[in-house]
Amino acid sequence: MAADKYVFVTPMYNLGFLAGLKMYIDSVCVVGKTFVYTATGPVRLLKDQGRKCLHIHSSGGFHFGKKEDHSVPYLKSIMGFMGIEDFEAIVVEGVDAIPDRAETFKVAAAERARKVAIQF
């Protein structure tokens, strides 16, 4: 609640991310702290304070933007649920599927990260 910027760095494991991050999410999504339910629906208690989230995510194959991706879309949803809608993802994909291009993919992502960092 005290933070105004959140950075998550995850590898994709079985179409999602590691259990440790899920445990963290389950610890911070707390009624009365980060959201509340009302008769007219949930209220996001972390909204309107300029908070932003950056998710840096890597995967061996190519899943980003596809239905089977339960990592980036899930984190985006849960942060939005608490009111943090300024969400950006930097995804490094295909590092195992096309190993001889892995370095190229990483260099491209690092370049994007440098650009994103200026605004973040």
Residue nearest to ligand FMN (CB): 60
- The smaller minimum CB distance to ligand FMN, of residues 23 and 31, is found at 23
Smallest distance, ligand FMN to C-beta of residue 50, A: 30
- The smaller minimum CB distance to ligand FMN, of residues 61 and 83, is found at 61
3-state SS, one letter per residue, for the chain: CCCCEEEEEEECECCECCHHHHHHHHHHCCECCCEEEECCEEEECCCCCCCEEEEEEECCCCCCCCCCCCCHHHHHHHHHHHCCCEEEEEEECCCCCCHHHHHHHHHHHHHHHHHHHHHC
- The smaller minimum CB distance to ligand FMN, of residues 17 and 82, is found at 17
Smallest distance, ligand FMN to C-beta of residue 56, A: 10
Smallest distance, ligand FMN to C-beta of residue 82, A: 26
